[in-house]
Every structure is written in C-alpha cells, then in structure tokens.
Amino acid sequence: MDKQEVARLVTTPLDSPAYAPTRYRFSDREYLNVVYRTDPEVLRRLVPEPLTVSEPLVRFEVMRMPDTTGLGDYTEAGQLIAVEHDGEAGEFNLAMYVDSVPAISSGREFSAYPKKSGSPALYVDSDTLIGTLDYGTVRVATATMGYKHRAMDLGEARAEVCLPNFMIKTVPHYDGTPRICELVRTQITDITVKSAFTGPARLQLFAHAIAPLADLPVLEVVSASHIVTDLTLNPVEAVYDYLA
C-alpha cells in the first residue's frame, strides 16, 4: 500500500475497516422520547461553555434503527440536554449507549457522537411502548409510554427530531495532551416523518457508577413522543475550538 493510499484511509484495520465509509441513511428509524425536568444545578456543572442551559430539561431517547446503510440493525439510548448557543436553541448530546461496535466506532471517529457500549431495547408490550437501557447486566433506565394514544402533529415531530445537536469532539496526542478539542454542531435536515404519536409516559433512572443517567434526576415528565422516520445524518461542523 503506497503513501497516497494510506493517506486516503478513513479508519482501520487496513484490511477490514471498523465501519463502512458512507453517508448513513436510516429507514424506519423509530424514537421513544421522554422529556423531563431535572435539577438545574447539575446541568450547569455538566454543560460545557460556550453553551448555556436554557431550561432544566433533558430528553431521554431510545432509537430503534432496523435498516441503516453500512451499519445494519442496531439500537441506541441516551440523554440530551436543552441548551442555547449564540441565541440558537438546541440540545447537548451528553451520552449515547449503543449495541453495535461499527456504530460506536463510526460515531466517535467520523463524527463526535459520545457513544459507548450498552444494551438498549425498544418494543411494544401489550398497550405500552417500552424503552429500556441495560449497562452490562444492570438495568439503568426504563421508559414507558401509552401506545399511540393521540396523533402528534407531524411538523411538531419533525421539529423535535431536527433540533441542532451539539457535542464535544476530543482526540488526544500520543502523550495524552489534547490534539483536538472542539464543540461541534450538526442538524438533521433530510427527513420524512412517517408517523408520530404522544401519550402518558413515565421514566425511571437507576444509579450506576459508570452509566450515571440517574445523576440527572427525573423531577417531572414534561412530554413524550413515539416517532418513526426515514432520515439521513449530516456531517458535523466545528463551532468552537477550546485549544485556540
């Protein structure tokens, strides 16, 4: 392999890349979203400048992705915090727990998604939509929502999924000092909302040292949604360089 070929590599191993170098298109991507009010002081300790906390709101999401170009079939769960950046409302992606190594690798390397390994699930149990997250063998989150109780406005559902998303991209030098440390932004724009419903919801978070979702306690469930979409992810762009 000559130097030019090496320089064009997206990821390793050389003979079996960790993920497919493609733009990811999701068909029938299914969301369970539970928005809840939490402790504002905890949020202020977690949210990095120059982002600011707009309201003490967190969205716990479970995403079922049965058909993804290059990545196949997998599920994610995580927490996103309502923030503002330069007057623009968005969400800070705090953590994502994923059951797919290619999705973890591509999300962290190719973009800036804060992904780590976990075992999320999304399914219907009789008249209830269930979203769960296990870390190892331990349950750390359970969300429940009444199944398709009330139709949701499709424009409202689109706005919920298409909020700007902010993340921290960090890559160390070999000596451990930071090589890249940036605040990045991305936003979904290519989307078709196929169905959207709302209903009564509850969320339980359980204390865990390594999957600390319960550090953002559930004080009040504000809203819930069950949304099915087809969409394409956009690339991220840097909006602040912490090393500049």
d(C-alpha 91, C-alpha 31), whole Å: 16
Tokens of 183: 């605040």
Q: What is the bridge-based pairing of β-strands 72-85 and 88-98?
A: antiparallel
List the beta strands (DSSP E) in 86-214: 88-98, 115-117, 119-125, 128-135, 138-146, 150-151, 165-172, 178-186, 190-198, 201-205
d(C-alpha 175, C-alpha 209), whole Å: 27
Q: Are 155 and 137 in contact (CB under 8 A)?
A: no
d(C-alpha 227, C-alpha 208), whole Å: 29
Q: Are 47 and 53 in contact (CB under 8 A)?
A: yes
Helix (H) or strand (E) holding 81: strand 72-85
Based on the residue annotation, tell me whether 115 is a catalytic residue of this protein: yes
C-alpha dihedral (119, 124, 130, 133), degrees to nearest 10: 0
> Catalytic residues, which ones?
115
